[in-house]
Amino acid sequence: MFKLFATLIDRCIFTIAFIFGVQFPEFIQQYSQRLSGHLNEALQQLTQFQLIADRHFDGNLAEMIQKYSANTEPSISETGALIVDTSNRVTNLQNHLISIEQADYFKRLYAFITEYDLPMAQATLEQYQLAIPIDFIALATGAFLALSLLIIIHSVIGCCKVTAHWLTKKPTNNEKVNEVTTKNI
């Protein structure tokens, strides 16, 4: 009866881990779509500043930033800082999007884990739509996560059993003789 219950729990854990693992590539996809939306918005803002630079600074955005930043009027100098921040944001979003979309799956996974934007990941999670993608990557991720979790669980259980057996083990006759011999020496 216990073995049947343990098998049933194993299968439930495997199924849940598999479903979770299949969701991970979909989450990265939805995250990259959100990232792309933020990039498009930042590019739109930067384009508006570039249009002003085209009209008044012969297209030189760096000169416009320098003049705005050097201005004594706080609202103008803060606008210069805003342009710099927007430009930096565009660069960062472009680099992050390229690292997630332009690589093979393992590089995308690594890029997501090491470079993710926490507020953007949280916003993606809040609006996440469950999906069951039926492609090799998703199925492989699900199977890998499920098998890894089961291996970890069974390894921990095995270690606990060995430790419990070792702690409750009664000495054999040979061990008693060795113990007596050691004491006599």
The string of pLDDT tens digits covering residues 63-119 is 999 999 999 999 999 999 999 999 999 999 999 999 888 768 888 888 888 888 899
Which residues are CB-neighbours of 66 under 8 A, at least 6 positions away? 80
pLDDT band at 60 (very low <50, low <70, confident <90, very high): very high
Expressed as residue numbers, the domain containing 176 is 2-184
* pTM recorded for the entire structure: 0.68
CA-to-CA distance for 120 and 35, rounded, in angstroms?
7
pLDDT band at 1 (very low <50, low <70, confident <90, very high): low
Question: Residue 24: which of 106, 123, 115 has the closest Cα?
Answer: 106
Number of domains in the chain: 1
More confident position, 169 or 12:
12
| Angstrom distances, CA of residue 54 to CA of 51, 97, 110 | 5, 28, 40
